[in-house]
């Protein structure tokens, strides 16, 4: 048996237990003292909905915890540097447990053998003090870093930093430039976004040699909104966690209407208005990748959720060969060109919001964004500028 204690800030909330005698099952249950505390901080909405449930899965940790872990190349890299097999999720959670997203920490119990069955690193033995020990959900190659007067540095002793650094992608041209432009355009359009800046690779220190040569162009630094300037952590959870689904279901387990219903119920109409304005910007900016993991709640006081700042804003339609439909359905529409004011009226009716008010929010955001667009268009490579011109001309909003 192996066990990992789960803490939220400094509060013990429960234990993840792996039992090989039960068919390689991992289970999680809330601690009685935490569950019975009426003023407890919120770990996740799925646990609030059913605090007495025992969450049991085979071969993996339960989906809420699995969604704390990175995907793709980043998972492989961090697993390799931690000396853990990337498919052993409980082991990986324990290895990265000091700097998971939000305010969760995962602490392995002594003597439980959570370093067993590691993946042998391809680049020689791992020095435990030099392991990358942070987890940033998502597939893009990115690192959690600290910033000082000399630039950005990858922390090497167990904890990540307060900035996310996203590296150039060899598959697509100037992804960091695209995202930086979209973040700045969103901010000018009235959307809440984190602080961000493009940085040159020579200003980044401590990147692992195993990532190889970087693709040309600048990287993007984005301030982590779960690591405030005053210190400590702000808890967050994404909508795959809120919906209780696996990362693999992030494109199909809900609609934008479903997300809006949750936000309205948990955060109120002001939060729903922010969400509608972000949907309007998503459509205008040609972002076909706003799946469940790219929307999050944050808990500044530990208990009451708010819509987290917008993140992962990329104009995906500016890249040839990328997905054309929306990541999720919007009141039945799955294509950008199918969305019009009537789509948002249906959306409003499904949520119980005033349709005229929702359409006004959309029109205001789109007008502000279109007016601001000429200030940002030239920042994109020429091919992306042309693709965005085509996209904007096809919209019915």
- Tell me the pLDDT tens digit for each residue of 62-71: 999 999 998 8
Q: What local confidence, expressed as pLDDT, does residue 349 receive? A: 99
Mean per-residue pLDDT, 183-208: 92
Q: What is the pTM of this model?
A: 0.91
Mean per-residue pLDDT, 258-268: 99
Q: What local confidence, expressed as pLDDT, does residue 113 receive? A: 53
Supply the mean pLDDT for the chain: 89
Q: Distance between CA atoms of 357 and 268, rounded to whole angstroms?
A: 15
**Of 12, 19, 79, which Cα lies nearest the Cα of 40?**
12
Q: Are 106 and 100 in contact (CB under 8 A)?
A: yes
Q: Distance between CA atoms of 9 and 102, rounded to whole angstroms?
A: 9
Mean per-residue pLDDT, 220-226: 95
Q: Distance between CA atoms of 387 and 115, rounded to whole angstroms?
A: 48
Q: What local confidence, expressed as pLDDT, does residue 161 receive? A: 85
Confidence of residue 128 (pLDDT cuts 50, 70, 90): very low
Q: What local confidence, expressed as pLDDT, does residue 160 receive? A: 62
Catalytic residue among 289, 340, 389, 390: 289
Structure tokens at 93: 């959670």
Q: What is the 3-state secondary structure (H, E, C) of the chain?
A: CEEEEEEECCEEEEEEEEEHHHCCEEEEEECHHHHCCCCCCCCCHHHHHCCCCCEEEECCCCHHHHCCCCCHHHHHHHHHHHCCCCCCHHHHHHHCHHHCCCCEEEEECCCCCCCCCCCCCCCCCCCHHHCCCCCCCCCCCEEEEEEECCEEECCCCCCCCCEEEECCCCCCCCHHHHHHHHHHHHHHCCCCCCCEEEECHHHEECCCHHHCCCCCCCEEEEECCCCCCCCCCCEEEEHHHHHCCCHHHCCCCCCHHHHHHHHHHHHCHHHHHHHHHHHHHHHHHCCCCCCHHHCEEEECCCCCCEECCCCCCCCHHHCCCCCCCCCCCECCECCHHHCCHHHHHHHHHHHCCCHHHHHHHHHHHHHHHHHHCHHHHCCCCHHHHHHHHHHHHHCCC
Mean per-residue pLDDT, 280-301: 98
Q: What local confidence, expressed as pLDDT, does residue 157 receive? A: 47
| 289 assigned to active site | yes
140 phi/psi in degrees, rounded to 5: -65, 145
CA distances to 104, 152, 154, 231 from 3, rounded to whole Å, are 16, 35, 29, 29
**Polymer length in residues for the chain:** 397
Mean per-residue pLDDT, 161-181: 92
User: Among 199-213, 293-307, 337-351, which is the least confidently predicted range?
Assistant: 199-213
145 phi/psi in degrees, rounded to 5: -135, 165
Q: Distance between CA atoms of 99 and 95, rounded to whole angstroms?
A: 10
User: Among 10-24, 38-52, 300-314, 353-367, which is the least confidently predicted range?
Assistant: 10-24
Whether 34 shows a pLDDT value over 50: the answer reads yes
User: Among 103-107, 116-120, 246-250, which is the least confidently predicted range?
Assistant: 116-120
User: Among 121-125, 267-271, 332-336, 385-389, which is the least confidently predicted range?
Assistant: 121-125
Give the rounded percent of residues in the chain with a pLDDT score beyond 90: 71
């Amino acid at each position: 048996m192996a066990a990992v204690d789960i803490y939220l800030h400094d509060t013990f909330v429960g234990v993840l237990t792996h039992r090989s005698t039960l068919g390689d099952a991992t289970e999680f249950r809330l601690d009685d003292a935490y569950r019975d505390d009426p003023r407890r901080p919120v770990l996740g909405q799925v646990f609030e909905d059913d605090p007495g449930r025992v969450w049991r899965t085979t071969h993996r940790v339960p989906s809420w915890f699995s969604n704390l872990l990175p995907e793709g190349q980043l998972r492989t890299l961090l697993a390799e540097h931690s000396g853990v097999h990337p498919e052993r999720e409980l082991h990986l959670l324990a290895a990265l447990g000091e700097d998971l997203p939000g305010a969760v920490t995962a602490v392995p119990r002594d003597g439980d053998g959570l370093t067993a069955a590691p993946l042998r690193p391809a680049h020689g033995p791992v020095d435990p003090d030099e392991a990358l020990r942070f987890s940033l959900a998502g597939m893009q190659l990115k690192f959690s870093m600290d910033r000082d007067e000399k630039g950005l540095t990858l922390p090497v002793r167990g904890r990540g930093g307060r900035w996310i650094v996203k590296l150039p992608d060899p598959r697509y041209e100037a992804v960091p430039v695209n995202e930086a432009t979209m973040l700045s355009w969103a901010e000018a359009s009235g959307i809440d976004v984190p602080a961000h800046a493009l940085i040159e690779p020579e200003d980044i220190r401590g990147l692992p040699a195993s990532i190889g040569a970087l693709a040309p162009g600048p990287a993007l630094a984005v301030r982590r909104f779960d690591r405030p300037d005053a210190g400590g952590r702000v808890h967050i959870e994404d909508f795959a966690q809120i919906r209780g689904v696996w990362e693999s279901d992030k494109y199909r387990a809900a609609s934008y209407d479903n997300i809006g219903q949750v936000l309205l119920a948990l955060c109120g109409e002001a939060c729903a208005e922010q969400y509608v304005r972000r949907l309007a910007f998503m459509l205008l900016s040609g972002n076909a990748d706003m799946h469940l993991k790219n929307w999050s709640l944050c808990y500044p006081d530990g208990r009451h959720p708010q819509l987290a700042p917008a993140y992962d804003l990329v104009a995906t339609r500016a890249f040839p060969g990328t997905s054309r439909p929306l990541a999720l359905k919007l009141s039945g529409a799955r294509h950008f060109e199918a969305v019009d004011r009537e789509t948002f009226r249906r959306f409003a009716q499904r949520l119980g919001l005033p349709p005229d008010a929702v359409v006004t929010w959309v029109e205001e955001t789109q007008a502000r964004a279109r007016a601001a667009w000429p200030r940002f268009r030239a920042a994109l490579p020429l091919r992306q500028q042309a693709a965005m011109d085509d996209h904007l001309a096809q919209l019915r909003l």
